[in-house]
Amino acid sequence: MHRRTFLTTGGRVVAGIAITGCLPRTGPGPAPSSRRRVDLVPVDVSWDRIIRTTVGLRPHRDSGFVVRADRFDEKTVIHNYGHGGAGYSLSWGTGALVADLALAHTERRAAVIGCGIVGLTAARQLQRRGFDVTIYAAALPPETTSNMAWAAFTPVSGLVTAERRTPEWDDQFRRAVDIAYRQHQLLVGTRYGVSWIDDYSPIADPNAPRRRSAVSGDESGPGLLGAGMTLGRTMLGPGEHPFATPYASRVPSLRFEPSIYLDALMRDVIEFGGRIVVRSFETPRDLMSLSESLLVNCSGLGAKALFGDEELVPVKGQLTVLVPQADVTYSAGGMMPRSDGIMLGHVSQRGNWSMEVDEAERKRVVDGAIAFFGRMRAPSAPPARTNGSSEPQPITPPPVESFFDRQS
């Protein structure tokens, strides 16, 4: 894949690979620190601990997501699709942009097409502005693409090709990501399955040449939000972390539990007077039978056939899931712990429509995880607690720019 196809193609790093675009340049290396060593429990990775492998198709457009209003006969259609691997991250933001466009419509009834994360959040943003909402969808959670997602705050993952960005699109993105980041912070808790988790990236050489991208800026154009990419991270030096590389970075990350989050959003839609109807649509003409004159298209890849968007392409993702491990409370090496299992990724195959498990990719991911976590240092015995022992420090949310090197 060409290195500028997506905003973030590197994703998370494995041992021995240096990805340092978000790290400060500090001369020969970080100064010695008196910080206590970080002890992390390695993931128990083996083939007999796999409980399932899931496949999902991300809806990507080289020119980025679409949020705009069109007229179709007597109906107004507001499009909201094409988020690539950033659907969870941006959904509340693009949903707010959709709801603002909907306020120009005289009717206060809206039909939302699609019941994944983008459709559910758009429905809630419409309800917050006084709309009576009905969601129409062929599939409901837990059978949506959103249920198969990595589900972390990765707002530029597989989102847009650098050469296709425009100032107008950049402005939409900035508004959407700011809205979404604030909203997710307010949803943290068990009800929605949203939480903060430390994400670790092993680093071989903190002074290696900086990786450039369309996020931070390169020959294809300026970055989405300019400088500020070093904020929110902590650099750990030799002896301060358990990974095989000399250095590692740590940054707080937002994690979503799809099975909890999507069910909670459906309950919210219904509790606020909304309806959810199981129904499929093959062509735009099928939409004409709906009684609502305002339609919100959150159909994801379905918009390719439904509205003839030939720019939409699938980016196949695949997750291999291990038995949950309660003592794993961090993310690293393409691993994300959730209550429904330990997620192992990442797989990203542009233009692949297959929903079949790719066994070669599954082997690559699992074997890589076995090697990565097998090289981790085992934790030392926990110190005895005394009355004077210090409590863990709360996580400080980093600025939104800190998430712009993440891939889901």
Evaluate if pTM is beyond 0.75: yes
Q: Are strands 109-113 and 132-137 parallel, antiparallel or unpaired?
A: parallel
In a domain, residue 388? The reply is: no
Mean pLDDT across the stretch 369-383?
A: 87
Q: What is the pLDDT of residue 14?
A: 34
20: pLDDT strictly greater than 80:
no
Give the whole-angstrom CA distance, residue 36 versus residue 58: 40
Mean pLDDT across the stretch 89-113?
A: 97
Tens digits of per-residue pLDDT, 240-266? 999 999 999 999 999 999 999 999 999
Q: What is the pLDDT of residue 210?
A: 56
In a domain, residue 384? The reply is: no
In a domain, residue 391? The reply is: no
Tens digits of per-residue pLDDT, 170-200? 999 999 999 999 999 999 999 999 999 999 9
Q: What is the pLDDT of residue 396?
A: 62
Helix (H) or strand (E) holding 232: none
pLDDT confidence bin for 360, thresholds 50/70/90: very high
Q: What is the pLDDT of residue 398?
A: 74
Q: What is the pLDDT of residue 403?
A: 66
In a domain, residue 2? The reply is: no
In a domain, residue 386? The reply is: no
- Identify how many contiguous H helices and E strands the chain contains and give both numbers: 7, 17
In a domain, residue 309? The reply is: yes
At a CB cut-off of 8 Å and minimum separation 6, what does 51 contact? Answer: 321, 322, 323, 341
- Output DSSP code: residue 323: P
Mean pLDDT across the stretch 112-133?
A: 98
Mean pLDDT across the stretch 367-384?
A: 86
4: pLDDT strictly greater than 90:
no
In a domain, residue 242? The reply is: yes
323: pLDDT strictly greater than 90:
yes
Angle at Cα 118 formed by Cα 116 and Cα 123, nearest 5°? 95
- Least confident range from 338-342, 360-364, 377-381: namely 377-381
Angle at Cα 249 formed by Cα 238 and Cα 16, nearest 5°? 65
Tens digits of per-residue pLDDT, 49-88? 999 999 999 999 999 999 999 998 889 999 999 999 999 9
Give the whole-angstrom CA distance, residue 18 versus residue 28: 15
383: pLDDT strictly greater than 90:
no
Give the ranges where 229-358 is alpha helix by DSSP (H): 258-271, 284-287, 303-306
For the chain, percent of residues with pLDDT exceeding 70 = 80
At a CB cut-off of 8 Å and minimum separation 6, what does 287 contact? Answer: 72, 75, 77, 111, 113, 281, 295
* 4 compared with 36, residue with greater pLDDT: 36
Q: What is the pLDDT of residue 241?
A: 96
In a domain, residue 179? The reply is: yes
How many domains, the chain?
A: 1
In degrees and rounded to multiples of 5, residue 149 shows phi and psi of: -85, 155
Domain that residue 364 falls in: 14-23+38-378+403-407
Q: What is the pLDDT of residue 207?
A: 85
- How high is the mean pLDDT of the chain? 86
pLDDT confidence bin for 225, thresholds 50/70/90: low
Give the whole-angstrom CA distance, residue 54 versus residue 172: 32
Mean pLDDT across the stretch 337-348?
A: 96
